[in-house]
Structure 1
Amino acid sequence: MRLGSLALCLLATFALSTTSYAQGLGGPSSVQAELEPGDGLTDPQFRSDFPRNTAPGYFAWADKLAKDHGLRFNFDYLALGQSSNADIGAGNASGGIARFYGSWQATETGSLTFKIENRHAYGAVAPQFLGFDGGAVSITGTAFNDNGTMLTNLFWTQRAADGAWSVQVGQIDVTDFVDIYGLVSPYTGFQNLAFNTNPTINAPNPGLGIAGGVKLGGNFYMTGSIADANADPSSPDLDVFSDGNLFKSLEIGYTSDFGRLYFDNIHLTLWHSDAANDGSRAEDYGAAFSAAWFIDNKWMPFLRAGVSKGTAALYEKSVSGGVGFYMRNTDMAGIGLNWAQANGLPGNQATLEAFYRFSISPGLQITPSIQYIKNPLLNPAQSSITVLGLRARAVF
C-alpha cells in the first residue's frame, strides 16, 4: 500500500475512547491503563503507600505536573524468573523490562502517548523463549525477551469531544487494543501468550500505524487498525510507505458500558497480514472470538477462540477459557486452560496456567505462577512440562 492509499485508510478509521480516563484505544496493557493504579477499578485499597512514601517531594511534583500541564508519566521495572522441568534445554530463564511511559494532554481533544523500554535477559535464555527451549510450542513469558531498547509507543490521539470517535496515528502497538479483555496484560495478568493476545493472531511488533474505532449506539463499537507488518521497534523507520507490507484488523464488539470496555466485552476480530517482500514471512489471516464479563466486580470468566491460516501465527487453532478473581487490596488470582494446534505439527497441546498477584501497593506487585503444558509438540518424548514463575513489578 502506497502513501496515498494509506491516507485514504486514515480517513476511514477511528479509535474508541475505552474508559473514563483513557482517550483512545487501549486495554489493560496500554499506557492509558497503566497510568492508573488498581486496574482501573474504583476506590482501590492497598496494604502500603510504597513508593510514594519514600519520595513524597518527587511524587508531589509529578502530581502538579499532571494537574497544571496535563503530563502524566511512570517509570517501572519488571522482572521475571522461570524454572522448567523439561528434559531438554536450559531449564530456567530470567529477564527484565525497564519502561518509561506517559501521556501529554496537549489540547482538550488531543493527546500524545509515548513509551520507551529496554527488554533484556539476565542469562542465556529469556523467559519468552523458555517454552520452545524445552520443546513446547508455547511462549511462557510474553514480552520478556532480549530485544534491547525499543520505541514502543509514540502516537497522537485525536478524539471527538463527546468520545464518539477518535484516531491514533504514529508508533503503535496493536496488542494494546486488538482482541483485548480484562486479563490480557502480561505485566499484571497471565504470562502465557495463550491467555494474552490470541495466539492465532500474527500481530506485528510495535511500529508505524493507524488505529481507530467508532461507537455504534449505546453498547456496540467497531475498531480497526493498519500497521507495519515488518516493524522493528528497536530501529523505527518509515519503510511501510515503500514496502507496503501491512497488518490489518477489524473488530466489532458489545460492552455493557464504554467505561467498562475491557471488563464487560464480547467481540469478533478479523485480521490479515501481508507476506514479507523478502520471503521471510508468508501471508496469514484469521478470526478470533472473545467473551469476558466482570461479575459483581470480582469474577471475570472468559472464553476465547481463534483460527488462522497458520503459516506465521503461533497456533493454527486455539481455544482458551478460565476465570479471574479480584480481591481486596486489588489482589488478583487467575486460572486458564488452553487447547491448541500448531501448523504442520501432528497432535495438539494443552496449557494450564494459574497465578496469584499480590498487590502490595500501587507501585509494587509480586506474582507467583505455575504453567503445566501437556503434550509438548516439539518434545514428544516428554508427556508434560511444568514451569514455575515469579514476576515482580515496581512503579515509580
Structure 2
Amino acid sequence: MNTMRLAVLIGGCLACGSLFSVASFASTSYASTSFGSPNTVDNTIKDNTRKKESWRENLASEHNLTLGLDYQVLGLSASSPTEGGDDNSAAGVARFYGSWNLTGLESGNVGGLVWKVEHRQAYTDTAPKSYSFIEPGLGYIGMIGPTYSDQGGRLTNLYWKQQFNQGKTALMAGYLDTSDYVDTYALASPWTGFTNLAFSTGAGAIGLPDDGILGLAVGHMLDENFYIIAGAADAKGRSDKPLDGFETLFNDHKLFTTFEFGWTASQEHIYTDNVHLTLWHIDGGTQHNLTQPSESGQGVNFSASFFVTPQIMPFIRGGFSEGDVALYDKSLTLGVGYFGLGAEKNNLGFAINFSEVNENLGKAYGVTDDKQFTSELYYNMSLGEFVQLTPNIQYIDNPAISTEKDTWVFGLRARVTF
C-alpha cells in the first residue's frame, strides 16, 4: 500500500511540475574535471551528452555560454516510522544553471562565471530533508534526500572560476556550494547517486554549512597524481538570503575551513580513482550547531575509490568528528558502484554505513544506543534523452530515536531534463 501511494504521489508531483535538465553519470564523460564533484555546474552540463538543440549549440560555440534546466522529484515511503511519525514524504526541486567562459580561451587558462539558482518545495507535510528526525518521521538520526526541502527560492552558486597552469590550478571565488569541492567522489551527488547523507559528502561526519555562501577555494595538482584542495567559506551564510552574507562574513567572521590532500590516477579521474584525507573545522555560534550554540566542530574524513574493472568501482569512506556540528562522531561506509549496467547511461549503487551518533545530539534526544546501521541500493536509469528514474531501497537498523527497532524506506526519484 505504501508503495502504491508513493507511485501515485510521484506521478502527481511530475504532473504539476516544470519539465527540465541533464543525463546521468558515465565514467567516461568527465575529462578535465578540474577539482569539481559530479554535482558541479560544469560537470552537470558536461554530462548531458544528448544532441543539443541548435540554439544551445550556437550559444556554446559562438559565445562560450552553456545553460541547463531540470526538475526533480523525490518520494519516500517507510514501512515502520516512529510512533506518530509520517510514513510518506515528497518534494520537488527546479534548477537553472549555467557557465559562461569569458577569459583565457586561447591560452587555456580559462576564466568564467558559474551560477545555479533553485526552487525547492515540499509536496507533503514533511519534506524529505526533515523526514528522518527533525520532524516526526523515521526517528533516524541522519538525512535522506537533504537537498529536497521546503526552502523555496535559493542561490546555490554564483562564482568566478579561474584556471591557471593549463588547468593544473583552479580558483573559485564567490557564492560556493562547499560540497562541490569537499570530500567528493563519483556517487556523492544526491541528484544522481545515493540519497542518504551517510553515502554522500562527509558520510555524516562533516558539519557542512549551507549552500550558496561566500567563500574561496583553490585546487592544485602538485604533480601528475598528488593534489591539494583548500577552502574557506562563511559558516553563517544562508542560500535563501545571499546578500546577508556580506554582513555575516565580514562582521561575524564565522568560517568553515577545509584542507584536502589526495592521490588520483590522473586529474581526469580525480573523483573516481582517488584516495584522500580531508581536514575540516567550523566555528561555533552558527545556525548549524546541534545543541550547544557556541561550540565549534572539527574532524578528519577519508575516502578511497577505484575502478577495478571499466564498470565496477568499490569505495570505502568515513570520518571522525568532535564538537557540536556533525551528525556522527564516527562513520564508516563500504560500497560499490556499477556503471553502464543494463544500458550505457544507467548505474547501480549499493552501500552500507555504520555510524555513532554525535554525543551531544544523543544526550539531547535521550539516546540509549548510539550505534546505527544503514544500507541503500539504488538503480539510476535513463528513459530516453530527457527522463531519469531512480528507484531505491534503504534498510535502517536501530534508528536511534525511533520507537521501532528497524525500518525499510522505499524511494523513487524522477528527473526531467531540458
Contact 2:296 / 2:323 at 8 angstroms: preserved in 1?
no
Instruction: Give runs of aligned pairs for residues 129-144 of structure 1, distance below 5 A.
Output: 129-132=130-133, 133-144=137-148
Partner of 2:65: 71
> What letter matches 2:261 in structure 1?
I
Contact 1:349 / 1:375 at 8 angstroms: preserved in 2?
yes
* Cα distance in 2 between the residues matched to 1:310 and 1:182: 28
* Cα distance in 1 between the residues matched to 2:62 and 2:337: 37
Partner of 2:299: 286
Partner of 1:320: 333
Partner of 1:164: 168
Partner of 1:125: 126
Partner of 1:20: 31
**Partner deviation per Cα, 1:342-392 (whole Å, 9 max, x = no partner):** 12233300000001111123432100000111001011x311011100001
* Cα distance in 2 between the residues matched to 1:277 and 1:264: 35
Partner of 2:100: 104
Q: Secondary structure at the match of 1:62?
A: helix
Q: Cα offset for 1:161? A: 4.3
Q: Does 1:228 align with 2:234?
A: yes
> What letter matches 1:77 in structure 2?
Y
Partner of 2:397: 374
Q: Secondary structure at the match of 1:248?
A: strand
CA separation of 1:277 and 1:296: change in aligned 2, threshold 3 A: closer
* Cα distance in 1 between the residues matched to 2:170 and 2:30: 13
Contact 1:135 / 1:376 at 8 angstroms: preserved in 2?
yes
* Cα distance in 2 between the residues matched to 1:349 and 1:303: 17
Q: Does 1:209 align with 2:222?
A: no
> What letter matches 1:118 in structure 2?
H
* Cα distance in 1 between the residues matched to 2:370 and 2:161: 44
Contact 1:334 / 1:356 at 8 angstroms: preserved in 2?
yes
* Cα distance in 1 between the residues matched to 2:313 and 2:338: 6
Q: Cα offset for 1:131? A: 1.7
* Cα distance in 2 between the residues matched to 1:141 and 1:115: 19
CA separation of 1:201 and 1:186: change in aligned 2, threshold 3 A: same
Partner of 2:354: 339
Partner of 1:195: 199
Contact 1:329 / 1:359 at 8 angstroms: preserved in 2?
no
> What letter matches 1:91 in structure 2?
D
* Cα distance in 1 between the residues matched to 2:35 and 2:112: 12
Q: Cα offset for 1:184? A: 0.4
Q: Secondary structure at the match of 2:57?
A: helix
Runs of 5+ unmatched residues, structure 1: 1-17, 39-43
* Cα distance in 2 between the residues matched to 1:126 and 1:355: 20
Partner of 2:365: none
Percent of aligned pairs with the same amino acid: 38
CA separation of 1:37 and 1:362: change in aligned 2, threshold 3 A: farther
Contact 1:200 / 1:310 at 8 angstroms: preserved in 2?
no
Where do 4+ consecutive residues of structure 1 move more than 4 Å? none
Q: Cα offset for 1:124? A: 0.5
How many pairs align? 361
Task: Find 1:92's aligned residue among 88, 102, 111.
Answer: 88
**Partner deviation per Cα, 1:216-245 (whole Å, 9 max, x = no partner):** 111000000000111101001312011100
Partner of 1:149: 153
CA separation of 1:341 and 1:111: change in aligned 2, threshold 3 A: same
Runs of 5+ unmatched residues, structure 2: 1-28, 105-109, 363-368
Partner of 1:249: 258
Contact 2:273 / 2:306 at 8 angstroms: preserved in 1?
yes
Contact 1:155 / 1:172 at 8 angstroms: preserved in 2?
yes
Q: Secondary structure at the match of 2:166?
A: coil
Q: Cα offset for 1:36? A: 1.9
Q: Secondary structure at the match of 1:66?
A: helix
Q: Cα offset for 1:281? A: 5.3
> What letter matches 1:114 in structure 2?
W
Q: Cα offset for 1:21? A: 4.5
Contact 1:271 / 1:287 at 8 angstroms: preserved in 2?
yes
Q: Does 1:359 align with 2:382?
A: yes
Q: Does 1:348 align with 2:363?
A: no
Partner of 2:311: 298
* Cα distance in 1 between the residues matched to 2:30 and 2:261: 17
TM-score by length of 2: 0.83
Q: Does 1:262 align with 2:262?
A: no
Partner of 1:6: none
Contact 1:284 / 1:313 at 8 angstroms: preserved in 2?
yes
Contact 2:236 / 2:286 at 8 angstroms: preserved in 1?
no
CA separation of 1:195 and 1:84: change in aligned 2, threshold 3 A: same
Q: Secondary structure at the match of 1:34?
A: helix
